[in-house]
Chains A and B, each alone.
Chain A
C-alpha cells in the first residue's frame, strides 16, 4: 500500500472515528498517561491500515485495533518522560478545553473513573457496550461467545451502576 493512500485512509478514519480513540484513551488511562496511550492508539491504527479488508466495517476494525492496543499497552518507562514532555507541549490550555461555559459533567467523570477501576478486559467490554456495539459484535471483536459477553456485561453493568451510585450519592 502506498504511503499516500495509507495516509488518506488514516485521515478519513481519524475524522470519522475520533470518538472511539477518545473513549478508549480515557477509559484506560488518565492524566499524562492518556497522551501516551493516545499515541499508541494512533500508531496502532496507522499500522493496521494496510491490513484492513473491505469485508468488515471500518468502525468494527478500528474498535478491534484500538481495544487490542489499549489492552496490551504498557507505559514504556524509559521513553515516558520524553513523550510526556512532547505531549504537554501539545496540550491546549485548560480554558480552551472547557470552552462553552458548561459545568464539569461529574457523571461522565465518575463513569470514566469507574471504568478505569475495572480489569482490562472488563473495561473494554463496557466501553464497547457504551459505544453501542451489540453482544454479537463485541463477541466477534474479542473472540468470545455471545452468551459469554452477555453474562459478563450483565455482571459488569450491576457493578458499574453500584459503584456510581456510591460515588454520586
Chain B
C-alpha cells in the first residue's frame, strides 16, 4: 500500500460533508452568534449605565455646591485614577503587540507566534490587575478614614463598605488566579510546544 492508494478513499462520496448536518451546525452557530451579540450589548449597556450614573452623580454633587476638599479626600481621587492608569497601560501593551505582529495572518506559524505573544500580554494584564486591586484594597482604609474625617461617612457605613469590598476583592482575586493558572499558563505551554514542533 502507498499513500496514493489512500486518495480514492479520501475523495469518495463517503468522505463528503453531510449537507443537512452542516445546515444544522450553521443554524446553531447563527443562534450562538446572535446570543453572543445580545450578551455583548447587554454588558456594554450595563457598564455604560453604571459609569454614567456614578460620574453623573459626582458631577451633580459638585455642581450643586457639594463640598469636596481635594487635600483631605485625595484617597478617592487616587482610587479613581488607578483604573485609568491601568487602561492606559493595557492600551500601550496592545499597540506594542500589534506593532510586533503586523502580519500575523501570513501563515499559521505567524498566527501561533502572535497568539503566544497575546497570551503573554494577557498574563501580564492579569498580574497588573491583581497588583492594582491589592493597592486599591490597601487604599480603602485610608479612603474611609478620610471620609469619616469630613463627615461623609459614618463608622458603621465604613465597616459595611470594607466588608463588601473585601468580599469583592477575594472573589476577583480567586477568579484571576484561577484564570491565570488553569487557562493562560496551559495555553502558553501548548502554544510553545506547537511552535517548537515547527522548528524540529
Contact = CB atoms under 8 A, between A and B. Distances in A.
A67 B12 CA distance: 22
A139 B120 CA distance: 27
Interface residues on B, range: 35 or more
Given A39-B28, A39-B32, A111 B6 contact: yes
Contact of B1 (A11, A108, A165): A165
A165 to B, nearest CB: 5
B108 A64 contact: yes
Contacts of B10: 108, 111, 130-131
Contacts of B115: 72
B24 A90 contact: yes
Interface of A is mostly: helix
A68 B28 contact: no
B167 interface: no
Interface of B is mostly: helix
B9 interface: yes
Q: Chain A interface residue count: which class?
A: 35 or more
B21 interface: yes
Given A19-B17, A119-B197, A71 B187 contact: no
A19 B10 CA distance: 11
Contacts of A143: 106-110, 198
Interface of A: 7, 11, 14, 18-19, 21-23, 38-39, 42-43, 46, 51, 64, 67-68, 71-72, 74, 86-87, 90, 92, 96-97, 102, 105, 107-108, 111, 119-121, 124, 129-131, 140-144, 157, 160-161, 164-165, 168
Given A46-B29, A92-B21, A97-B21, 5 more contacts: A68-B111, A96-B20, A143-B106, A143-B109, A144-B198
